[in-house]
Amino acid sequence: MDRVFSDIDSNSCDVFTHTDDEESRNSVCAEQSQKKRRRSRARCETAVHAVKKNRRLKANDRERNRMHNLNDALDALRGVLPAFPDETKLTKIETLRFAHNYIWALSETIRIADLQAARPGDPLRLTDAPSPASDSACSWSSSGSPPYCSSSPGSPSTPEDYSLLPQDALFGFRCFASGVY
C-alpha cells in the first residue's frame, strides 16, 4: 500500500519538492504558492485514492473469479461422485473428504479383484486386507465435522468393516464423508 503513495509522490506529485527553493526566494508569492500547493496536494491525494481504489476493485474481481473457478471445480468433482437423487448438495469439505475416501474404495476394489484373479478359488482372507487405520490417524475437526483419516482415508477401523468392501463400502464412505456415520 505504501508503494502506491511512493509511486505517485515520485511522479505526478514531485512538484512539492521542486518548487521549495523558488518559494523561499520570492516571498511575495509565498501565500499564493502555498494555496496552490494545498490544492495540488488535495488533487494528488484524491488521485492516489482513486488509484488505490481501482487496484483494489480489480483485485477483488480477480479473487471473485478465482473462487468461482474453485467452486466450478468442486461442482465437477461432485458430478463424478456417486449421489442419491434426493440428496442435498455436499458441502465443500464433505466433497473433498468423500472424494478422498471414494478413491480409496475404488483402489481397494481393484486390489481385491487383482488378488482374486491371481488366486482363483482361494477365498479372500481378512489378512489380505491392509492394516486398518489406527485411531490415532483419525482426527475430529474443531468444527465437529466428520472424522478424517490422514493415513488411509476412509479405511474401515475394524476388520469386520472389510465385509463391506468393495461395493457396499461406497455407501458407507458417503455416509462417512457426510457425517452420518
Partner DNA sequence: TAGGCCATCTGGTCCT
Partner DNA sequence: AGGACCAGATGGCCTA
The verdict on 39 binding DNA (CB under 7 A) reads no
Please pick, from the candidates 92, 122, 151, 163, the single residue that binds DNA as defined by CB under 7 A.
92
3 state SS of 138? strand
3 state SS of 149? strand
Choose the stretch contacting DNA; rule: CB under 7 A; options: 51-59, 116-124, 129-137, 165-173: 51-59
What is the nearest approach in angstroms of DNA to the Cβ of residue 93?
6
**Residue 23 to residues 15, 20, 26, 35, 121, Cα–Cα distance (Å):** 12, 5, 5, 12, 102
The verdict on 68 binding DNA (CB under 7 A) reads yes
Q: Which is nearer to DNA, 11 or 27 (CB)?
A: 11
**Residue 48 to residues 14, 18, 23, 78, Cα–Cα distance (Å):** 14, 20, 25, 45
The verdict on 72 binding DNA (CB under 7 A) reads no
Q: H or E element: which one contains 65? A: helix 30-80
Choose the stretch contacting DNA; rule: CB under 7 A; options: 11-19, 53-61, 118-126, 127-135: 53-61
Strand partners, 149: 138
What is the nearest approach in angstroms of DNA to the Cβ of residue 70?
8
Show the binding pattern over residues 5-34: x = contacts DNA (CB under 7 A), - = does not. --x---------------------------
Strand partners, 138: 149
The verdict on 119 binding DNA (CB under 7 A) reads no
Please pick, from the candidates 59, 124, 175, 180, the single residue that binds DNA as defined by CB under 7 A.
59
Evaluate whether 168 touches 181 at the Cβ level (below 8 Å).
Answer: no
The verdict on 64 binding DNA (CB under 7 A) reads yes
Cell 458441502 belongs to which residue? Answer: 91
What is the nearest approach in angstroms of DNA to the Cβ of residue 120?
45
Residue 169 CA to residue 109 CA, distance in Å, equals 10
Binding site for DNA (CB under 7 A): 1, 3, 7, 56-64, 66-68, 71, 91-93, 143-145
